Structure 1
Amino acid sequence: MSAIAPTRVQATRAYRRKLGDYEITALSDGFVDLSFGVWQGIEQEAFDAALTDHFMPTGGFRNGITSFVINTGAKIIMIDAGAAGLFGPNSYHFPDNLAHAGLTAADIDLVIPTHAHPDHIGALLRDGQASLPNAEIRVNQTELDFWTSEAAQAKAPDFMRGWWDLVRGVDRAYAGRLTSFADNAALGDGITHMPFPGHTPGHSGYLIESAGEQLLIWGDLVVHHAIQFPHPQASMIFDIDPGLGHQSRLRGLDLAATDKLLTAATHLPFPTFGYVARRGDAYQWVPETWRYDVSGLAWQPVV
C-alpha cells in the first residue's frame, strides 16, 4: 500500500459558466480567517446564531477571496485581481490560478477593480512591479481620489495606513495604463458601473450583459453570506462609512431580488454565483446549482 500525503489545497480553483456569448471564470485566490472582532452593528449572540443556522462554527469564519475573468471573445477582462498574500499566508494562488484556467499574465487586457482594498488589487504587483505586462487598469474616480489622498491616509487607523501606499504603487507601476471613470459609466463590452459606496468611497458593482443575459458582480457589498443577508445592518471595521454601506447593501440586495439577477462576489462561498431571495425584512443567498457543462449544451434527457 502506498502512502500519499494530502495536498491540503482544493483541486478546483477555477470555475466557468457561460453568460450569453461570454465565458465567465471565477478564480479562487485562497482565503482569510476573520474573527467576530472585525464586525460592527451586530451582537456576538446574533452573529453566532447566524453561523449556527448555517451549520458553521461560531466565533468567526473562513472567508474566500475570488476574482473573475470575462472572456468576451475579443478581450480578457478581470474584475478584481486577488490578494497576492497581503491578507495572510493562504491568499496567493493568483499566478497558479491563471495557469489553471489556461491563461497567462500576458493574456489579461483589462482589470476593473470593484475597489482598492489589498485583496482586490494586491496581485496587480509583484515585487513592486506590474505583474500584468499588457493590461490596462480602470478605476472609479472617487475610489482613486480617496486612495491617493494623503489627508485620507493620515486619518486612517494604523492597520489600514499602508493600503494607500499599495494604491500609489499600482498607479506608478501602471503609469500610462491606469485611467479612471465616473459613476454609472458604460465601460464598453457590455459592462456598466454601479456605485455602491460605503465599504469604500468608490466601492463599485459591475453589471455585465451579453446576448440578453446579465450578471451583477458586487465586490464586498456582502462580505459573508451567513451574516449580512439576514443582518444587512452588520458592517466591518474595514468599512469607511458603515451607514452608507448599509444603504448601498439594501439597495443592491433589493435590486438583485427584484430583478432576479444572477450575482457573484469576492467573498461568497466559491464559486460565488447565486441569487438573492427576500426573507421578510431580510434576505437569503441562494447558490446557483453547479454547472456541469460550460458550453451551453442542450438538455438531453435519457428517459
Structure 2
Amino acid sequence: MRLACFSAIKIKCGSENFNGYPVCATLERHIPMSGTKDPAGMGVPPTYVRRTPLTVLAGGLRLTAVFDGLLKSAFDAYRHVGAAQLRQALGPMANEDAPWTDSNCFVVESAGSLGLIDAGSGVHLDHTAGALSNHLTDMGIAPGDIDYVIMTHLHGDHVGGLINPDGSRIFPRAVMHLHTEEAEYWRNAPSGVAGEHHPADLTGMALRAYSDGAATFEDGREILPGVKAIHLPGHTPGHSGFFIGEGPDAVFIWGDVIHLPEVQFARPDITTVYDLDVVRAEESRRKALTMACEARLKVAGMHLRQPPFGRVVRHRNAFAFTADEIGAAPRVP
C-alpha cells in the first residue's frame, strides 16, 4: 500500500492583527474542497468541511497531515484573554458562541511500516470532526494496514478515532505507543477528570482496547526508526512531541503545544482549561517555540490551521508563525 501524491498550494501571511503580531491570514490559508454543506447547521466556515491531506518528506520518512475536522470550543476555555479579543483575532474561525479549533492527525510512512500519530475524534465528539477514517479510505489505507499509533497524549479528540462506539479497536494490528507518565496517569484517572470535552471514559476505552502489546517511551527515546520523542508535559502529564526524520527536512510535531494559533504564538501565556497543569503547559509551549525558532525547525501541530506545517520566528518579545508552501512529496523508496 502506498499513499497518493497531492497537489501544491501557496500560502500568504496577512498583516498584523493581534496585539500587533502577524498572523497568517485565515481566509487565504483555507483549502476549499467538495462538500461545503454546513454540518448540523453549526456555523462552520464552508471551506473547512473537507480538505485534501498534505504530504511532505521528513528526513527520509513520508509524513502526511490529515485534517480530522473542527472542534467547537468555548471562549471561557482560554485564560488571560477575553472573548472579544478572541473573536477579533480568529475572524471566521469563531462565531458569536465559540471559537473553532482545527484537529489534525499524521500518517507516517517508511519503507517497511505505516503508522499514525494520533487518531482524531472518531464518531465520539463533534459532528464536524472525525474525518480521519474517510481520508484513510480515500488514500487507499485499510485499518489493517496500520502497524502502529503513536500518541501525543490521550485526550478524547486524539484517541476517539482509535475505537468504535462499542469500544472495540478500529486498527486491529496497530501497536499503541505512549509516554510512560501518560499511561500511568490515565489508567488511574477518575471519570470526568479531563472535563466534559475530554471524557475520561473515552480515554479508558482506548487504553483497554490497545492494552495488549502497548509500548511506553521516555523523553528522548527513539520510538521507531526515525521517530524520536520529546516530553512536553503540562497539557497532560505525558504529553509529548516527536521529531520525524533527521537532517534539514526533519519535522517537529509538537502535539497540543498550540490550540489557537491566532493568539498563542503572540501570547504564550494563554492557557486552556484543558491543561491539567497550566504552569508546566506554558513552560512546555515556550520551550517548544524557542527550540523551533532557534533550530529553524519545520513544525507541525495537532491544532495548527491548514496547512499545519510551517516555521516559528521571533517577533518582538514573543513569536509568530509562517505556514510552509506544500508540494507533492516523492515516494519513499
- What's the TM-score, normalizing by structure 2? 0.79
Structure 2 partner of 1:236:
272
Q: Which of 149, 165, 178 pairs up with 1:111?
A: 149
Paired position in structure 1 for 2:101: 63
Contact 1:42 / 1:234 at 8 angstroms: preserved in 2?
A: yes
- TM-superposition CA deviations, 1:138-192 (whole Å, max 9, x none): 110101111111xx426836526732x2232222222322121222212121111
In structure 2, the residue matched to 1:132 is 171
1:15 matched to 2:54? The reply is yes
Aligned to 1:36: 75
1:261 and 1:194 map into 2 onto residues whose CA distance is: 14
Which residue in 2 is equivalent to 1:156?
193
Distance 2:95 2:245 in 1: 38
Partner AA of 2:138 in structure 1: H
Displacement of 1:248 after TM fit?
Answer: 0.6
Distance in 1 separating the partners of 2:219 and 2:94: 39
Q: Relative contact order (alpha carbons < 8 A, sep ≥ 6): 1 or 2 greater?
A: 2
The structure number with the bigger radius of gyration is 1
Q: Does 1:261 find its partner at 2:297?
A: yes
Give per-residue Cα distances to partners, 1:12-71, cap 9 Å, x unaligned.
33111222322111111111122312111223454345336xx76575422111100010
Residue aligned with 1:243, SS: helix
Contact 1:135 1:177 in 2 (8 A): no
Contact 1:13–1:100 at 8 Å: present in 2 too? Answer: no
Kept in 1: contact 2:232–2:240 (CA 8 A): yes
- Write 1 or 2 for the structure with the bigger share of strand: 1
Q: Structure 2 regions of 5+ residues with no counterpart?
A: 1-33, 38-47
Q: Which amino acid aligns with 1:21?
A: G
Contact 2:260-2:304 within 8 A present in 1 as well: yes
2:196 aligned counterpart, secondary structure: helix
Contact in 2 for aligned 1:51/1:58 (Cα 8 Å)? no
Contact 2:59 2:244 in 1 (8 A): no
Amino acid at match of 2:115: I
- How many residues are matched? 286
Which whole-Å CA distance do the structure 1 matches of 2:70 and 2:49 have between them? Answer: 12
Q: Determine the structure 2 residue equivalent to 1:213.
A: 249
User: What root-mean-square deviation, in Å, do the aligned CA atoms of Structure 1 and Structure 2 show?
Assistant: 2.3
Aligned partner of 1:96 among 116, 130, 134: 134
- 1:193 deviates by 0.7
Alpha-carbon spacing, 1:47–1:212, altered in 2? closer, same or farther (3 Å): closer
Name the residue aligned to 2:65: 26
Identity over aligned pairs, percent: 27
Q: Tell me the SS of whatever aligns to 1:129.
A: coil
Q: Conserved in 1, the CA contact under 8 Å of 2:219 and 2:229?
A: yes
Q: Residue 6 and residue 201 in structure 1: after superposition, are their counterparts in 2 closer, same or farther (change >3 A)?
A: closer
- Whole-Å Cα distance in 2 between the matches of residues 160 and 70 of structure 1? 27
Structure 1 unaligned spans of 5+: 297-303
Q: Secondary structure at the match of 2:73?
A: strand
What's the TM-score once normalised by structure 1's chain length?
0.87
Runs of 4+ residues deviating >6 angstroms: none
- How far has the Cα of 1:217 moved from its partner? 0.4
